[in-house]
């Protein structure tokens, strides 16, 4: 592909990774993501249809996007998600299609999603303790998530990654049990630092348990862990192998060591806005173009322009940091 058709920003970063949110709704209420009663949901008519998403992804792939992750809100609450997976997995040139989910609906959906072509899945689970799960999510569905993980293992999804949001003062008791759970089942558990995108303004730097501290907790239990030899330098997770070589974990240090320098991502929200960063304060209206008769070339041009405007990195630590007006569930984490 000619260099100028690829998505390279003003800092020389090549973008080949797209996250597509299909809804801002969710069937649980993790306190660090959503308020109990969100004040606003995208009206259904404003959600991109699966056909519109498919067209956008085809155009993005023609510009060098190679990886697409479907996310939300909770993507599995959108009707007939396997239909979208089928459409996207048929796109020539798309090398990697994955899903991020809270796992609650996987007991029913793991199989249809697999049949539709999905192989890679990230399942969000913060604790193995049902009571703590209820406190975090305000919903009594812990058993369903565990069942969903088992369904994915049985079907042969690979890799299966477990996303754990870590909050200081809350998550410490869960770190070791989850590491053990993952290691025994061949799952990569990834600990994610708490980011200022929560629904209730609870975020504070003091509530971020740093990746280095998480690693210390793990090493106290398991012994010295070494950096995984097969790291993908552009992945936000830094992976570590257990001392006996059996299994690995990941640390996503979005706050203490942001991966902005090697960021290769753009994001499409459920209502069709394109964002160059999770924390971006501006967005490009793709839905208007898709519904207004714009040509593929016009849409491609707007994608290029969006990438070219990308900033060098988020400003979480700056005194004048302004969080985006959208919360995590409305951007697509």
For ligand SAM, the binding residues in 44-63 under the rule CB under 6 A are: none
Token pair for 55: 């067209």
Binding segment toward ligand SF4, per CB under 6 A, in 44-52, 69-77, 88-96, 256-264: 69-77
Under the criterion CB under 6 A, does residue 34 sit at the interface with ligand SF4?
Answer: yes
**Residue 280's binding partner out of ligand SAM, ligand SF4, none, with CB under 5 to 8 Å set by partner kind:** none
Beta-bridge partners for 83:
none
Token pair for 31: 């306190």
Under the criterion CB under 6 A, does residue 161 sit at the interface with ligand SF4?
Answer: no
Taken in order 328, 110, 186, 177, the sign of the CA dihedral is: positive
**Can you tell me the distance from the alpha carbon of 306 to that of 133, in angstroms, rounded to the nearest whole number?**
38
Under the criterion CB under 6 A, does residue 259 sit at the interface with ligand SAM?
Answer: no
Q: Which residue has the tokens 């308020």?
A: 35
For ligand SAM, the closer of residues 3 and 79 by Cβ is 79
Q: Which residues have CB under 8 Å from 132's CB, separation 6+?
A: 126, 173, 174
Report angle CA 236, 72, 23 to the nearest 5 degrees. Answer: 155
First-to-final CA distance of the chain: 29
Under the criterion CB under 6 A, does residue 148 sit at the interface with ligand SAM?
Answer: no
Under the criterion CB under 6 A, does residue 33 sit at the interface with ligand SF4?
Answer: yes
Beta carbon of residue 255, minimum distance to ligand SAM (angstroms, whole number): 9
# residues contacting ligand SF4 (CB under 6 A) = 13
Under the criterion CB under 6 A, does residue 190 sit at the interface with ligand SF4?
Answer: no
Under the criterion CB under 6 A, does residue 328 sit at the interface with ligand SAM?
Answer: yes
For ligand SAM, the closer of residues 26 and 303 by Cβ is 26
Under the criterion CB under 6 A, does residue 247 sit at the interface with ligand SF4?
Answer: no
**Can you tell me the distance from the alpha carbon of 257 to that of 273, in angstroms, rounded to the nearest whole number?**
27
Looking only at the bridges linking them, the beta strands covering 226-227 and 237-241 are antiparallel
Binding mask 309-328 for ligand SF4 (x = CB under 6 A): -------------------x
Token pair for 313: 């990195």
Q: Which of 81, 113, 160, 195 binds ligand SAM (CB under 6 A)?
A: 195
Q: Which of 6, 29, 67, 234 binds ligand SF4 (CB under 6 A)?
A: 29
**Can you tell me the distance from the alpha carbon of 329 to that of 188, in angstroms, rounded to the nearest whole number?**
23
Under the criterion CB under 6 A, does residue 32 sit at the interface with ligand SAM?
Answer: yes
Question: Which alpha helices (H) appear in the chain, and where do they start and end?
Answer: 50-62, 81-89, 106-115, 130-137, 142-155, 172-185, 211-222, 286-291, 296-308, 328-331
Indicate the burial class of 327 (C-beta count within 10 angstroms; 0-12, 13-18, 19 or more). buried
**Residue 195's binding partner out of ligand SAM, ligand SF4, none, with CB under 5 to 8 Å set by partner kind:** ligand SAM
3-state secondary structure of 188: strand
Q: Which of 78, 144, 326, 329 binds ligand SAM (CB under 6 A)?
A: 329
**Residue 304's binding partner out of ligand SF4, ligand SAM, none, with CB under 5 to 8 Å set by partner kind:** none
Beta carbon of residue 124, minimum distance to ligand SF4 (angstroms, whole number): 6
**Can you tell me the distance from the alpha carbon of 208 to that of 87, in angstroms, rounded to the nearest whole number?**
39
**Can you tell me the distance from the alpha carbon of 221 to that of 241, in angstroms, rounded to the nearest whole number?**
14
Q: Which of 23, 102, 254, 284 binds ligand SF4 (CB under 6 A)?
A: 102
Q: Which of 16, 42, 73, 148 binds ligand SF4 (CB under 6 A)?
A: 73
Under the criterion CB under 6 A, does residue 33 sit at the interface with ligand SAM?
Answer: yes
State the residues that interact with ligand SAM by CB under 6 A. 26, 32-33, 71-72, 74, 100-102, 124, 163, 165, 192, 194-195, 197-198, 328-329, 333
State the residues that interact with ligand SF4 by CB under 6 A. 26, 28-30, 33-34, 72-74, 102, 124, 328-329
């Amino acid at each position: 592909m000619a260099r100028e058709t690829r998505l390279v920003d003003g800092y020389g970063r090549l973008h080949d990774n797209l996250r597509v949110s299909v809804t801002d709704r969710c069937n649980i209420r993790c306190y660090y993501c959503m308020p109990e009663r969100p004040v606003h949901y995208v009206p259904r008519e404003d959600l991109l249809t699966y056909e519109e998403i498919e067209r956008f992804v085809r155009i993005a792939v023609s510009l060098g996007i190679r990886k697409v992750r479907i996310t939300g809100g909770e993507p599995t609450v959108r009707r007939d998600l396997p239909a979208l997976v089928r459409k996207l997995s048929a796109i020539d040139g798309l090398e990697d299609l994955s899903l991020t989910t809270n796992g609650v609906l996987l007991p029913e959906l793991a199989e249809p999603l697999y049949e539709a072509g999905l192989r890679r899945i990230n399942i969000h689970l913060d604790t193995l303790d049902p009571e703590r799960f209820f406190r975090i999510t305000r919903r009594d569905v812990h058993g369903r998530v565990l069942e969903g993980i088992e369904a994915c293992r049985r079907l042969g999804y690979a890799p299966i990654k477990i996303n754990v949001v870590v909050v200081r003062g809350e998550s410490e008791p869960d770190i070791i049990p989850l590491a053990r759970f993952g290691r025994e089942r061949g799952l990569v558990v990834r600990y994610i630092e708490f980011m200022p995108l929560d629904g209730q303004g609870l975020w504070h730097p003091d509530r971020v348990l740093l990746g280095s501290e998480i690693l210390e907790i793990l090493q106290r239990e398991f012994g010295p862990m070494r950096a995984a030899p097969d790291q993908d330098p552009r992945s936000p997770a830094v992976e570590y192998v257990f001392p006996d070589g059996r299994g690995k974990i990941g640390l996503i240090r979005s706050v203490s060591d942001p991966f902005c320098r090697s960021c290769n991502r753009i994001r499409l929200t459920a209502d069709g806005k394109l964002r160059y960063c999770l924390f971006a304060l501006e967005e490009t209206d793709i839905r208007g173009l898709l519904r207004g008769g714009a040509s593929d070339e016009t849409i491609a041009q707007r994608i290029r322009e969006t990438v070219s405007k990308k900033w060098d990195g988020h400003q979480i630590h700056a005194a004048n940091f302004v969080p985006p007006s959208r919360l995590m569930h409305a951007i697509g984490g």
